[in-house]
Amino acid sequence: MSFSVGENETVHVLHPQQIIAYQGPSSGRADRLMDVKGIYRKRKLIRSDMTGPCRFVAALPPGYRVKTLELEGNNDLLYDFRHLFYYSEGITMQTRVLSMKNMFITRDIVKIKFSGIGSIGILTEGTVCEAELHPYDPLYVDAGSIIAYPENAKLELTVYGNHLASQHMSYHWKMTGHGPVLFQAGVQNRRFERDNNDDGILKRFLREALPFGGVFIK
């Protein structure tokens, strides 16, 4: 993907090793050590501060893209820090500690809430979709596909549908509340490709017939 940074603008790139081409003054890129919180959340040591005017190209794995979101003031959505590719000057981050139950389920301790005026680039896999939450009518979303959800959302890990449906689907978040939920389609795309490969009638039958066979039989 190609990125353009305007004059006097600065973006902080958290995957600098993916930058494969750069056009602009040599002084336009300054790599810095991340703070301790950033190292823990992102499990990386270096970030690149890119100051415009300049352009750069980042190499992303097949199927991945960066979705740019414009923020104006407070934002109620909670993000996984691992999805963050860049953020612009003027954006601040706050940590939200998850409940013990959600820590155990998501294998993560914190989520990130952004505020300020600027933009963030979210690393996604496949098409990004958005759905509005309802305070009483639940939305079920594949747990591995969630990108961001409102801080006020109530979450419950579950499956749904009849007996056969609930047996072979992945776990879903049952979500109620107010505001938008962002989720990506790439995880399901990989499952679709896998299920349609010629990996034997027995394995395909076991995925469908056994409880949670689609989760445990790869």
The segments of the chain whose pLDDT lies below 50 read 36, 39-40, 189, 198
pLDDT given for residue 40 in this prediction? 47
Q: How far is CA 199 from CA 74, 169, 205, 208, in A?
A: 49, 19, 11, 14
- Separation of alpha carbons 19 and 164, rounded Å: 46
The model's pLDDT over 128-170, given as tens digits with 9 standing for 90+, comes to 889 999 999 999 998 888 899 998 888 888 888 888 777 777 8
- Separation of alpha carbons 156 and 174, rounded Å: 5
